[in-house]
Chains A and B, each alone.
Chain A
Amino acid sequence: DAGVIQSPRHEVTEMGQEVTLRCKPISGHDYLFWYRQTMMRGLELLIYFNNNVPIDDSGMPEDRFSAKMPNASFSTLKIQPSEPRDSAVYFCASSPDRGPGEKLFFGSGTQLSVL
C-alpha cells in the first residue's frame, strides 16, 4: 500500500503569495494531521481531522492558515498571504484510530521557503 503522499516536496514562493500544500492519507485511515517542523519550535500539531471533519485547530498559528478535507482521500493546507516566518517543513500524517497510543504514519513533508 502507498503511504501518505504529500505534494509538492519543495515550494519556493515570495512573500504575499498564496501557498497550497496537498496531502493524500493512507486509504482507510480516519484521522489526518498536519504538523509543522521548524528549528525554533520543533514539531508542532497545527490541526487534525476525523472523518473529514476538523476536530482541533488550536495549533493553527493565525487566520492566514486554513485547512480543508473535502473527502477521505485528500486534504489541503493553505497559507494566504504567506510570510517569511512560515518557512518550515509541513508534514501530513494519518492514523487508523483515535487512541493516543496509535502510531502516526507521516508523509515525506513539504519544504516551504517564503522569500
Chain B
Amino acid sequence: AQKVTQAQTEISVVEKEDVTLDCVYETRDTTYYLFWYKQPPSGELVFLIRRNSFDEQNEISGRYSWNFQKSTSSFNFTITASQVVDSAVYFCALNYRGNTGKLIFGQGTTLQVKP
C-alpha cells in the first residue's frame, strides 16, 4: 500500500523558533518521489521540494531544510528561525513510477507561527 502519514495535525511556535514537520511514507516501489507543498491562508498549493528515492542527500534552501532517511521511511522538513509568514498548512506527498500525477498526500500539518 502507498501511504503518507503526517502525525502532527497542528503545531504552534513562537517566531524565531525552529520547527520540524514529520512525514513518514509507505511504498513497495523502489523508485518513488517525495514532495512537500505549502498551502498558505490564500489557499493555493505551492511546490517546495522534490526528492527521488535514489537521492538521500539532505537539502537546505535558506531557512528550509529537508532530511530524507530511507531507513526510517521519513522525509522531514525543518524551518529554522520561523517567521509569521511561514504560517500555513504543509503537505507531504508521494508518487511512484507509473503513477502519473496521482500524488498521494498526507493529511497536512497546520503550522502557526506567533509573533
Contact = CB atoms under 8 A, between A and B. Distances in A.
Interface of A: 31, 33, 42-45, 48, 50, 55-56, 89, 91, 93, 95, 98-109, 111
Which of A100, A101, A108 has the most C-beta atoms of chain B within 10 angstroms of its own C-beta? Answer: A100
A103 B100 contact: no
A104 B47 contact: yes
Nearest to A55: B100
28 contacts: A42-B106, A42-B107, A42-B108, A43-B91, A43-B105, A45-B101, A48-B100, A48-B101, A55-B100, A93-B45, A98-B100, A100-B32, A100-B33, A100-B96, A100-B98, A100-B99, A100-B101, A101-B33, A101-B50, A101-B52, A102-B101, A103-B35, A103-B50, A106-B44, A106-B45, A106-B46, A107-B44, A108-B44
Contact of B95 (A48, A55, A93, A100): A100
* Chain A interface helix/strand/loop/mixed: strand
A89 B97 CA distance: 28
A31 B100 contact: yes
Contacts of A93: 45, 101
Interface size class of B (residues with CB under 8 A): 20 to 34
Contacts of B115: none
A89 B35 CA distance: 21
B62 interface: no
Nearest to B50: A103
B42 interface: yes
Given A48-B100, A48-B101, 10 more contacts: A31-B100, A31-B101, A33-B101, A42-B108, A98-B101, A100-B96, A100-B97, A101-B50, A106-B37, A109-B44
Contacts of B42: 108
Interface string B77-97: 000000000000001000111
Interface in B44-86: 44-47, 50, 52
A45 B44 contact: no
Contacts of A50: 100
Contacts of B106: 42
A43 B101 CA distance: 12
Interface in B22-47: 32-33, 35, 37, 42-47
